[in-house]
Amino acid sequence: MLNWAKPFNIFCLLDNQQYQSFSPSGDGGNAFESLLAVGCKANIELNAGNAYPQLKEFYNAHKGWLFGHLGYDLKNEVEQLSSANFDGIGFRDLHFFVPEIVLQLKENRLSIFCDDNPQIIFDSIQACSAEISAIKNMPVIKNRLSHEQYLSTIKEIQQRILRGDCYELNFCQEFYAEPASIDPIAVYQQLTKLSPNPFAALYKLNDRYCLCASPERYLKKMGETVISQPIKGTAKRDLANKLLDEERKTSLLNSNKERSENVMVVDLVRNDLSKICQEGSVKVDELFGIYSFPQVHQMISTVSGRLQNDIHWVDAIKATFPMGSMTGAPKKRVMELIEKYEQTKRGLFSGSIGYINPEGDFDFNVVIRSILYNSNTQYLSFQTGGAITFYSNAAEEYEESLLKAEAIKTVLQ
């Protein structure tokens, strides 16, 4: 399917990497195993300013399947903030497209949604090679921040916390390579093979790509129910030593630091959902759930609510984006501080990729553990970070940041 989609200027693959059982929300799991949208009947591509109202108009004019992304800097439209940091990739703040063809794989059944004869599409896919080319020309990865710069920045942030500016701040650093010449499909296949995660995505928008191996859901709508599943809390796995691996899992569950970070984000998500949900309906379905992935154990909580009757899905996004797990608390103030202390514009990183189906339900991930790539400028970038509190250990936060980058570095090097 990916080799068949490769010639299209725009496509979006969403893949749960066979995590059918990954459903701490109790919602029965994902609605599909993989969903591939290709081609473009109509699209909208905007920067923050008047993006949400225009997206609403676009959707109302093109109800049906819709795929695309929300960039982190949509925050500027809602909170009257700004972004002036370096951006080497060039994704605009918002892009959605009405696909020509949608392929949905579920329970070994392929459904094809299109205006043409689906048999012709199926035959053309079958005629494509199933081989993925090997990765060549390994790029040289550089750190945007030195170790010393990272540690000193964490200490400055902690002074901000001590003064009462904020409680928790998600601080990220960039790793990059230029010039970098990669085959995005080959790298994506290697990345998801090494680090399969339930909210993986491969997204192409002309010369820009996102190769995403995300474990985190931002927001899902099913009928009148919305759920969010923030992640805060990470522990490295040791697959060679089962006993040590279980000890790390238990240690993560019992860590006061990780629990305090997680509960702060849960409170932030509850506050965000209360803006769009019926009074008294917002609840924490699961607090401090521990879920294991190939590289790490993660602490995941689930918050849900029942939407108010008159809430448009675009307004639900506007009220809750960017997600609390990638900002901190209080939300507006930490987003101001993030702009001050980070050296790279986040762009699509810590934004979201997802879809809206013809029934008006949607599912959006959190763009983390992801490679962003501009094939025209040959600039490659990925960012990692973590929640900083007053009790954070700067050296340990640096190591956690490297841990989150490990799978990507392994694939690229």
pLDDT at 28: 45
d(CA 43, CA 10): 10
Based on the structure, what is the number of domains in the chain? 1
Please answer whether residues 289 and 25 qualify as being in contact, where contact means their C-beta atoms are separated by less than 8 angstroms: no
Q: Which amino acid is at 108?
A: N
- What secondary structure, in 3-state letters, does 217-256 show? EEEEEECCEEEEECEEEEEECCCCCHHHHHHHHHHHHHCH
The structure tokens 């059944």 sit at 109
Give per-residue pLDDT as tens, 96-116.
Answer: 999 999 999 998 899 999 998
Please answer whether residues 199 and 323 qualify as being in contact, where contact means their C-beta atoms are separated by less than 8 angstroms: no
Binning pLDDT at 50, 70 and 90, where does residue 26 land? very low
Q: Which of 33, 77, 168, 216 is catalytic?
A: 216
Encoding tokens for residue 206?
């002309």
pLDDT at 22 over 80: no
**Which segments of 33-148 are extended strands (E)?**
34-38, 42-46, 66-70, 94-98, 101-106, 109-114, 142-143
- What secondary structure, in 3-state letters, does 118-180 show? HHHHHHHHHCCCCCCCCCCCCCCCEECCCHHHHHHHHHHHHHHHHCCCCCEEEEEEEEEECCC
Give per-residue pLDDT as tens, 44-86.
Answer: 999 999 999 999 999 999 989 999 999 999 999 999 899 999 9
Domain CATH number, residue 15: 3.60.120.10
**Among 259, 212, 280, 202, which Cα is nearest to 389's?**
259
φ, ψ of residue 189 to 5 degrees: the values are -60, -40
Q: Whole-number mean pLDDT of the chain?
A: 94
Q: Any catalytic annotation for residue 404? A: no
Q: Any catalytic annotation for residue 232? A: yes
Q: Which of 75, 204, 220, 232 is catalytic?
A: 232
Name the maximum alpha-carbon separation found in the chain. Answer: 65
**Among 339, 344, 338, 412, which Cα is nearest to 383's?**
344
Model confidence, pTM: 0.95
Binning pLDDT at 50, 70 and 90, where does residue 24 land? very low
**Sequence-distant (≥ 6) Cβ neighbours of residue 280 within 8 angstroms:** none
Angle of helix 51-61 versus helix 313-320 axis, rounded to 10: 160
d(CA 52, CA 69): 12
pLDDT at 31 over 80: no
- The whole-number average pLDDT for the span 303-331 is 95
Range of the domain at 77: 2-412
